[in-house]
Chains A and B, each alone.
Chain A
Amino acid sequence: METLLDFFSFADPNVRLVTLGTVLLGAAAAVVGSFAFLRKRALVGDAIAHAILPGIVLAYVISDSKNTLILMAGALVSGWVALLSMDYLSNKTKLKTDTVIGLILSVFFGLGIFLLTAVQHTGRGSQAGLDKFLFGKAASMTQNDVYIFAALSIILLLLTFVFYKAFKIVAFNRDYALTLGLPVKMAEFVLASLTVLAITTGIQAVGVVLMAALLITPAAAARSWTNSLVNMIFIAAFLGAFGGLVGSFISYTAPKMPTGPWIVMALSFFALFSLLFAPKRGVFSKLKLQRKNREKIITENFLKAFYLLGEQSGNPQQIITRQALLDYRDFPPTEIQFALRKLKKKLHIIALEDGWRLSKIGLKEAARVVRLHRLWEMYLTERMNMKSDHIHPNAETMEHIITPEVEAELIKELKRPEKDPHESTIPY
């Protein structure tokens, strides 16, 4: 607790710097990464992160300085060359995207490692400044670095804001944008430049290998929570920033711990949590919805059985035995037990000594299901010109799906028919 307070008081100027730096980087990378994610270019980002290494080493060799800005310029150039090579090879050869990405990634990185080691062995003094591009050195950021990161992050966020509409249409419907005559190529160029810039900045915090996580993991997590792009970008930015905060906090409490991998661990945890527990798109809510639907279908089928058996005998609330249900349809025993329990709980049926009968609300509900079934059969024969012996299976499904609004439409469209195509009465 005390360390937590110590950390958040930000009394230590170094802590302040590192935290500010990682939070800004996390947020900026997540915003740009959201577009990369939506355009299904997550791994292209990974390849660019590896491919900027030769540019950094060459920039160092040519300029003979370890100035962050000069090295980043080299990185930008080499990131762009990699991006263009990937595009060129995918268009010119029969190689699939994944092969092209893996090829450029590994060969560029190999070139980078080769140049780096060759420079090391010439004895040009320490190239410790280059190492931070390989492994990320968030904990040892200088004030100057943080100013550069802050400036770049703000540029990234501003440009995303300015080009938001263009990016959006490129991400969702590129072909449509082309037919509208929008400057798609321009938008793609700006977006690609921003991605390369974000990667060049970000790898100084987390290193080459883990940069992909900074781009896509927050976006993957955010996607589970919302269907709106604006919300997604904000959630991703927040998660990216929060991951940066967690990473710097952990390496503050345990100085031996590397910041970058912990940022990635935090982000992965957010993503896993979101994928599992997010409402609507999460795994568990989907399972829950599936179970609810199954339950609805089973109970409605039983209500229908009660109704039809009653209809045969002329007494809608007739007492039905288990045997009668089994004679009507060969329901599995577990299903019978399950459905009767559920229906009793909802007061749709009343348990008697020798069987069950529909309650008043049960009868109303059962009539609704039968009505939907017969209305839909009517619609299929009248409007879709289907034969009356072909329509039953489809109606068996639709009776569970049709909403009250659609029901009203059907009644209006069919002028409230009395009988269905099999001459059974439609209950209203």
Chain B
Amino acid sequence: MAISGYAIAAKRLFAHSLIRSFVMNDIYIILTASFIAISCALIGVFLVLRQMAMVGDAISHAVLPGIVLAYLFTGNRDSMVMLIGAVILGVLATLLIELFHKKTRLQEDAAIGVTFTWLFALGVILISVYSGQIDLDQDCVLYGEIAYVPLDLWFTNAGMNLGPRPLWIAGGLLIAVLFFVLRGYRGLFITSFHPDYAAALGISTVVWHYALMSMVSVTTVISFESVGAILVVALLIAPAAAAYLLTESLPKLLGLAAGFGVLSSLGGYYLAKWLDGSIAGAISVVAGLIFVVAFVISQARKKVSKKSPVLS
């Protein structure tokens, strides 16, 4: 009798903690996705404004060999070495694109295409050469594994559970991006909108250019594990593009884009849960849907503003 009562109590306890951990898992994944989405959206606004969206795409592919090499050297994933490797490769990709474009007069779109495919191919080859030593596969590269976020827990030396490690990393990324955007607001603003005026003020467009490219590299490499190389592009561009259709003031752009990013993460998570598909894929689908809504609103506004002179 006593034993079975125990068993029932244990079952109840287990069921309870299971439910609780289900809810917690949802929250962990949504929070991680939102942190990444906000970081990407803020950086993406500047990429869209500077007409560098495809350079962002190229960087997100080009960091792959950097990640693989850093992984080979250090043997683990979350290390400073990885970040540094990725930043080096990201900046190298930008440099190569510029070099091809200016020195060999290869047109810019072709320069971008040649550079990132080359570096990505190098990354894939490295992965297959050292496949025994690297816990990275092509699927992960293409669409990440954000669903595993709750499994990668972070324990202190004393054994205390601090929650999922990717959540902490994404939070760190968000803080870094916020710091970059807020501290660099003036420089980013002037060099994005009035490069000539910036030069006249003595603000170096080159410095801000490479600072931004480094931030793109950091953001893509951290988002890489969660959402993969291609879907990070959706998070960079779609919220920023949608916001750009609705407003032209920079603070509003940043706010709207960040909001759209969070909305995409939230909607994407539940869409993925509903149809049992990839969370990262679903997030980009929702980001695309938000863009469609923004597009419809902007078109409707255009019609109204065309009619208004007749009314007044």
Whether the Cβ atoms of B121 and A109 lie closer than 8 Å is no
A275 to B285, Cβ gap below 8 A? no
Q: Please determine whether B114 and A107 come into contact, CB atoms closer than 8 angstroms.
A: no
Query: Which size bracket describes the interface of A in this complex?
Result: 35 or more
Q: Are B277 and A117 in contact (CB under 8 A)?
A: yes
Q: Which single member of B106, B241, B280 contacts A95 (CB below 8 Å)?
A: B241
B176 close to A (CB within 8 Å):
no
Q: Which residues of B sit under 8 angstroms from A94, Cβ to Cβ?
A: 244-245
Q: A110-B231, A213-B118, A220-B106 are in contact. Are A92 and B299 (CB under 8 A)?
A: yes
**Is residue B298 within 8 Å, beta carbon to beta carbon, of the partner chain?**
yes
B287/A209 in contact, CB under 8 A: no
Segment among B10-18, B48-56, B153-161, B195-203 that sits at the interface with chain A: B48-56
Query: How far apart are the CA atoms of A95 and B245 in the complex, in Å?
Result: 8
Q: Tell me which of A67-75, A96-104, A145-153 binds B.
A: A96-104
Q: By the criterion CB–CB under 8 Å, are B280 and A110 in contact?
A: yes
Cβ–Cβ contact B244 & A106, under 8 A: no
What are 8 sample pairs from A and B whose C-beta atoms fall under 8 A apart?
A93-B245, A105-B233, A111-B284, A113-B278, A114-B277, A217-B117, A219-B110, A281-B104
Nearest CB on A from B213, distance (A): 15
Is the CB–CB distance between B120 and A210 below 8 Å? Answer: yes
Q: Taking beta carbons and an 8 Å cutoff, which residues of B are in contact with A?
A: 48, 51-57, 61, 100, 103-107, 109-110, 112-114, 117-118, 120-122, 124-125, 128-129, 131, 138, 142-143, 229-231, 233-234, 236-238, 240-241, 244-245, 271-272, 275-278, 280-285, 287-288, 291, 295, 298-299
The interface-forming segment of A192-200, A254-262, A312-320, A324-332 is A254-262
Contact check, B53 vs A98: say whether CB atoms are below 8 A apart: yes
Interchain CB contact under 8 A, B117 and A209: yes
Give the Cβ gap from A90 to chain B, nearest Cβ, in Å.
12
Total A-B contacts with CB atoms under 8 angstroms apart: 211
User: What secondary structure prevails in chain A residues at the interface with B?
Assistant: helix
> Given A95-B245, A115-B277, does the pair A220, B114 have CB atoms closer than 8 Å?
yes
Q: When the two chains form the complex, which single residue of B117, B238, B277, B298 contacts A103, counting CB atoms closer than 8 Å?
A: B238
Which residues of the partner chain A approach B118 to less than 8 Å between Cβ atoms?
Answer: 213, 217, 264-265, 268
Known interface pairs A95-B48, A106-B233, A213-B117; 17 further A-B residue pairs with C-beta atoms within 8 A, sorted by A's residue number: A40-B107, A42-B110, A42-B112, A43-B112, A95-B241, A102-B57, A106-B284, A107-B287, A110-B281, A110-B283, A111-B281, A113-B284, A209-B142, A260-B124, A264-B121, A265-B118, A276-B104
A271 to chain B, nearest CB (A): 6
- Roughly how many angstroms separate A40 CA and B111 CA in the complex, as a whole number? 11
A360 at the interface (CB under 8 A from B): no
Contacts of B104 in A (CB 8 A): 224, 275-276, 281-283
Q: Mark A97-137, 1 if CB is under 8 A from B, else 0.
A: 01111110111111111111110011000000000001100
